[in-house]
Structure 1
Amino acid sequence: MHKLLTLAFLFCITGKLYAQINPADSTLQVVGYWQNKEKQSFSVSHEKYKITGTDTTSRELITYQVEVTIKDSTAKGYTIEWFYRNYAIESENALVKKMIPLFQDIAVLIQTNEYGAITGVSNWQEVRDYMQKMATHLESELAAIPHAKGMMTQLMAMYQSKEAIEANAIKDAQQFYTFHGAKYSLGKELKAKMQLRNNYGGKPFDTDVTVSLDEINEQEGYGIIRMYQQVNPQQLTDATYAFLKQVSPAKNTFPARNAFPQVSNEIWTASQIHAGSGWIIYSVETKQVKAENVTNIEERVIQLN
């Protein structure tokens, strides 16, 4: 019932219930029609687990709230604040539990174009400085945890530059705005190739992308769009092998490249989007990275409160 009331509110403020649904040709155009100072609240869950063979060997669940506020609206685009709060975690990893305060009460300013497609982070320096300050406060607590220093260094690398923050530190926002700025036809698959950032430091990975509009609900005023991404497995395996060999203390005995297992990376994203406003109602993204008999799975769910 709460969700229905929220949607009814969205219908009223936009005044364009079916503005982006065209029944004549069964298309949906995803554009953000957001009002200045408008605010919506979202619940986010981020679950990670590892499957070895047929057994789940580790699991981690992080939940938090995000207040999304339109801070500025112009003819050229939007400035949108993502304010993070109320973190909770289920994990056996002591380091991860200690690191959660790093993200508490942090505000990230997302920039989009006039259609609502994300273009960057405007306050990335503030975010970087905030994370560094919080990390310094945790140094003494992390000292007793094995390998904490290395993992903290790896985490903070995600916040050292504008490019790094936009590529790695705002995954939920990227998921949120994935489909904005384009027009989709019901039942028609769009195929394309894109470049995905290589976090090992080399050339970007070639990635095959398929997007489809699976459902238009004119009565409720929403559409459901899905995307599938597959990273080039040869490029990914080569980069993974080179990185692991470089950091290995036993480089001379490291396995030969032809003995190294192939690594795959696949991502599935599905979003239910309110047509009149461009707000996300529900979105789920599942990432699967596999090598031999080990599969690492991440799933992020974003839901309008």
Structure 2
Amino acid sequence: MSKYLFFLCILIGSIKSFAQTKPAGTPVQILANWMLHDNKTYTITENKFKVIEKDTVVNESITYEVSIEVSDSTTTSYTVEWTYDNFQVNSNDISLNQLSYILKGLSIEFKTDELGIFERLSNYEEIQEFLNDNLYTIRDQFDDQESYVKFKTRIEKEYLVQNNFETKVIRDILQFHQFHGTEFYDDETYFGEIQVPNMYGGEPFDSDVTFWLEDNDYSKGVFEVKMQEIINSQQLTRATYDFLKNNYSGIEEITPENADNFPTLTKAIFTTASVNASGWVIQSVQTSETRANKTSRIEVRKIELNN
């Protein structure tokens, strides 16, 4: 995961914009300028929609708070701790409620460089122990042993395998730090290609990116930045087909035997963030839309600083 973000930082620092000459004026750089024990509290809301043509057929949401503290600071790095609490779930999926129980109180500690670019988790063993303990305590909330085993297997696969945890679970942390280390000029649009994590655990996907400084208020030290990512459709389609084929074999309505009959998937991710001069995010909204035929799956994650 850190490899992807490091590559993104190199890309943004070196890629050419549409302009052919060096832009005039003073650049805006998004970087962490934090002190030891600086802390903030954020509310994070995740909404998921399934839309067939113009009809929304699935709509679920989860809201939670995260307390962020800079627990260590050096000239070359920060250690940051995120602690999760106050989950509220609106969904018919009972497993989401159980998930909120085992995540309550979870603390994730990670390192960034001096700019605030995410580098690595630093307490994954403690995370594993915490989740295993909570998995054991909620077993009585299930109607039967089979339901519990099914839920436990899912959590072990997604949360207790470090690579999957970094790909699927800490997306809010990666979104928070997405623009740290970047440098922008007014009225300049930057574009290029990067590799992004494969949610199925295989080779990363190629992605075309476009990013720019939407607005800035130098007097208040607030900057609004935006990025659009278009995932390679062929790679996404093949990886999705292979995943379904390997995990749902024999179910024709899910995965046809012939890959040529599998629908082509497209995925676009759009992120807009307001960040202050000290590197604290004021608000970040990321919208991901995956389309296949007439069906869209839309996920919106909003990170908002509490007053």
Q: Which runs of 5+ in 1 are unaligned?
A: 1-22
* Alignment map for 1:75-94 (pairs within 5 Å): 75-94=75-94
1:284 aligns with 2:285: yes
1:172 aligns with 2:168: no
Report how far residue 177 of structure 1 moved: 0.5
Name the stretch that deviates more: 240-249 or 62-71. Answer: 240-249
Partner of 1:268: 270
Q: 1:217 to 1:191 in 2, by over 3 A?
A: same
Partner of 1:139: 139
Describe the superposition over 1:183-209 as per-residue Cα deviations: whole angstroms up to 9, x where unpaired.
111221221222222232322111111
Find the residue that maps to 2:41 and give its secondary structure.
strand
Report how far residue 146 of structure 1 moved: 7.8
Q: 1:190 to 1:147 in 2, by over 3 A?
A: farther
CA distance in 2, matches of 1:248, 1:85: 34
CA distance in 2, matches of 1:279, 1:201: 31
TM-score (norm 2): 0.86
CA distance in 1, matches of 2:291, 2:152: 25
TM-score (norm 1): 0.86
8 Å CA contact 1:95–1:148 kept in 2: the answer is no
1:121 aligns with 2:121: yes
- Give the root-mean-square deviation of aligned CA atoms: 2.1
8 Å CA contact 1:211–1:227 kept in 2: the answer is yes
Report how far residue 247 of structure 1 moved: 2.2
Find the residue that maps to 1:289 and give its secondary structure.
strand
Partner of 1:191: 191
* Alignment map for 1:213-232 (pairs within 5 Å): 213-232=213-232
Find the residue that maps to 2:96 and give its secondary structure.
helix
Find the residue that maps to 2:175 and give its secondary structure.
helix
Q: 1:146 to 1:259 in 2, by over 3 A?
A: farther
Name the stretch that deviates more: 251-260 or 283-292. Answer: 251-260
Find the residue that maps to 1:116 and give its secondary structure.
coil
Q: 1:245 to 1:161 in 2, by over 3 A?
A: closer
8 Å CA contact 2:271–2:287 kept in 1: the answer is yes
CA distance in 1, matches of 2:110, 2:285: 20
Partner of 2:37: 37
* Alignment map for 1:198-277 (pairs within 5 Å): 198-250=198-250, 254-275=256-277, 277=278
Q: Percent identity?
A: 30
Describe the superposition over 1:204-257 as per-residue Cα deviations: whole angstroms up to 9, x where unpaired.
111111111111111221110001111100011011111212223417893411
CA distance in 2, matches of 1:161, 1:48: 24
Describe the superposition over 1:73-122 as per-residue Cα deviations: whole angstroms up to 9, x where unpaired.
00111001101111111112222122210110111112100011111110
Name the stretch that deviates more: 227-236 or 144-153. Answer: 144-153
Report how far residue 156 of structure 1 moved: 2.8
CA distance in 2, matches of 1:198, 1:171: 13
Q: Aligned residue pairs: how many?
A: 282
Q: 1:130 to 1:41 in 2, by over 3 A?
A: same
CA distance in 2, matches of 1:147, 1:255: 29
Find the residue that maps to 1:244 and give its secondary structure.
helix
CA distance in 1, matches of 2:91, 2:146: 16
Amino acid of the structure 1 residue aligned with 2:197: R
CA distance in 2, matches of 1:154, 1:267: 26
Report how far residue 24 of structure 1 moved: 6.7
8 Å CA contact 1:125–1:162 kept in 2: the answer is no
Report how far residue 60 of structure 1 moved: 1.0
